[in-house]
Chains A and B, each alone.
Chain A
Amino acid sequence: MLAAMLLLPAVFIRALAFTPAEATQGEAQKIFYIHAPSAWVAFLAFGVVGICSVLYLVLKEPRLDRLAASSAEVGVIFTTAVLVTGPIWGRAIWGAWWTWDARLTSTLFLWFIYFGYQVLRSAVHEPGQRARFSAVLGILGALLVPFIHISVNLFRTLHPKPVVLKPEGPTLPGGMLATLLFAFVAFTIIYAAMLWQRYSRATLDDARDAARAEADDRA
């Protein structure tokens, strides 16, 4: 976990000190190197939630529920970063902190869904019921992810279109693209480390809860 977290300052140093500023946007454009990788990881995290939730409903395996719950929590953190860094960049370039366009609004809804997912899990105490309810919500939330990705093509939005993940290939200059790809890899590793740490804790928590329930039954 510590080793993975060291990648965060590495990304910052590379982006701030070794990557040129964009000619028209100025240095605020460098928020891109944390904003876009955070969005990628958020989508990845909620994709993992969706897949684990579907598998849980089929297999009823508690480890899948734990993995989905852990990934959802980490995903909320990354989505929060997207929703905070985006408006800071937007204020510098658009002159507005927020606009209710399709990309921004649907990302906010995604955050609400998975924040609600956390609330739901803390409100339902019976493990089987909690896992089933949250799996359904997790799948519904994950269905929003591809829609958010294509929303800039479906609607007229202020948010720019993708510069890397598009059919004709990336259109960034080499230095900027290298920094962005490095950030994508680093953030993915950070996500994996956070997910593992959170999953390990969930496993311990579940074992403790099961032991308590058994002790209560005996008493």
Chain B
Amino acid sequence: MRAMRRVRRPTIVPDNRGYMIAGYIVAAALYGGYALWLWYRARKS
């Protein structure tokens, strides 16, 4: 009788690095842009 063996399947991790990079670029642009705008307005006034 063949022994039952539990086969551990490897976890397939999706390749979605591009989305991660896009998210971080957008956040950096938004926060950095707003901070620059505040700094520019403070200098102007």
Contact = CB atoms under 8 A, between A and B. Distances in A.
Which among A5, A35, A74 has the highest number of chain B CB atoms within 10 Å? A5
Contact of B30 (A23, A80, A88): A80
26 contacts: A5-B32, A8-B31, A16-B20, A16-B24, A26-B16, A27-B17, A27-B20, A28-B19, A30-B24, A31-B20, A31-B24, A34-B27, A35-B23, A77-B34, A84-B26, A85-B26, A85-B27, A88-B19, A89-B23, A91-B19, A92-B14, A92-B19, A194-B34, A194-B35, A201-B41, A208-B45
Interface of B: 11, 13-17, 19-20, 22-24, 26-28, 30-32, 34-35, 38-39, 41-42, 45
Q: SS class of chain B's interface: helix, strand, loop or mixed?
A: helix
A128 to B, nearest CB: 23
Nearest to B36: A5
Contacts of B38: 1, 194, 197-198, 201
Nearest to B15: A26
Nearest to B13: A26
Contacts of B19: 27-28, 31, 88-89, 91-92
Contacts of A12: 24, 28
A219 interface: no
On chain A, which size bracket covers the interface?
35 or more
B41 to A, nearest CB: 5
A122 B27 CA distance: 26
Contacts of A84: 26-27, 30
Given A77-B34, A81-B30, A205-B45, A34 B20 contact: no
B13 A24 contact: yes
A113 interface: no
A15 B42 CA distance: 31
A206 B39 CA distance: 18
A25 B16 CA distance: 8
A53 interface: no
B38 to A, nearest CB: 5
Interface in A63-93: 74, 77, 80-81, 84-85, 88-89, 91-93
Nearest to A26: B14
B31 A81 contact: yes
A201 B20 contact: no
